[in-house]
Amino acid sequence: MNDVTTEPAPVLFEERAAGGVSRIGIATLNAPKTLNGLSLAMARLLDAQLATWANDDGIAVVVLQGAGEKAFCAGGDLHGLYRGMREYRDSGSRDPRDNVYARDFFATEYRLDHRIHTYKKPILCFGHGIVMGGGIGLMSGASHRVVGERSKLAFPEIAIGLYPDVGGSWLLNRVPDRAGLFLALTGAPLDAGDAIRAGLADYCIADARRDETTAALLAVDWSKNADDDHERLSALLQSFAQPAAAGPLQRHAELVAALCGHDDLETVVAAIASAAPDDAWLRNAQAALAAGAPGSARLGYELQRRAATLSLADTFRLEYVVSLQCAAHGDFAEGIRALLIDKDRNPRWNPSTLVEATPAWAETFLNPPWAGDAHPLADLRADTETSA
């Protein structure tokens, strides 16, 4: 007998009959051992299936969820990106487009995220457990975003030498009380109540009622009119929702607004560093900023400034350029090495201080390696954007 080991599919797709003649499409990220970290293969599969369901008149609602109890999606495929960065470095190339994995991964991921933001049919995302980085990219554009009592959302990229991408520059600009900059600089986690306050989630439903909520979807007589079905899904989720207590971001909203209310990054960082908080959440945020990459702080700040006047599509195009440059010559590889490869947690950042990470330094990451319409995301249309 041949001992054949079959790898599980990275994303599971199913369709379930609902009321009338409608169906519910369910996509499940299926890599629980890696906390459903988003790989290139997963992103390709998801994007293709969402496109198929968008054109299927029988599909009324799409559900996006993650396998296992620990996480919806803890971020992107850092191991794959690290291998690609090593191969690119060893090739001797100076053209960031020659980092094949990063080039394809970020283009596919951002295109998928934009598709979710602009999807006409309702998409329900269960953001249970850990939802970070690339997980927020998937969840943030869904029309109906559910968190539970164990949900933990964050943009922790400063710890790995990146910046809040996946549209994070655009999303964090819209967080009230200037808190988006604080979240980018510190990677501070959000619980259910704070995620809703930040505009990254819509409903808090107890984790124990997730299956019950899904079952209720199947009993609805969906109209297959997208506007009507959005309203029906909203009413259904509201019937399961529970109040979410204010988390630390809300409890410290006045302080965070004051810390981030200055006109330049250096003063903001100094204000956060010199604060004397009596709260573990704030102290951990301080420590994360102190240990994080100064270049990431600068890039996150500069990109939020630019995204304030950009469409989401243009933000994805800008972030794509910066992400390719980060994979080519930034701190991204060093951050992954220190956290996941050698696990010494002692990254050697370059630039090593914020004084060195100047606006002029950041400008070198904003230069596209192609002209005009040759951008791989040139066809993303701002006029299809519906999410706020």
Residue 237, pLDDT score: 98
Task: For residue 15, list its beta bridge partners.
Answer: 25
- Model confidence at 31: pLDDT above 60: yes
- At 73-125, the pLDDT tens digits run 999 999 999 999 999 999 999 999 999 999 999 999 999 999 999 999 999 99
Band (pLDDT 50/70/90 cuts) for residue 386 is: low
Q: State the average pLDDT over residues 250-279.
A: 95
The structure tokens listed for 157 are 């990229």
Measured distance CA(29)–CA(72) in Å, rounded: 8
Please name the residue that has the structure tokens 């490869």.
341
Higher pLDDT, 90 or 381: 90
Which DSSP letter does residue 366 get? S
Q: State the average pLDDT over residues 333-361.
A: 97
Band (pLDDT 50/70/90 cuts) for residue 350 is: very high
Q: What is the pTM of this model?
A: 0.95
Q: State the average pLDDT over residues 158-164.
A: 98
- Model confidence at 388: pLDDT above 50: no
Q: State the average pLDDT over residues 121-136.
A: 98
Q: Alpha helix locations (H) across 64-172?
A: 78-91, 100-117, 134-140, 168-172
- Model confidence at 59: pLDDT above 80: yes
- Domains in the chain (CATH in brackets) are 11-384 (3.90.226.10)
Contact between 172 and 183 (Cβ < 8 Å): yes
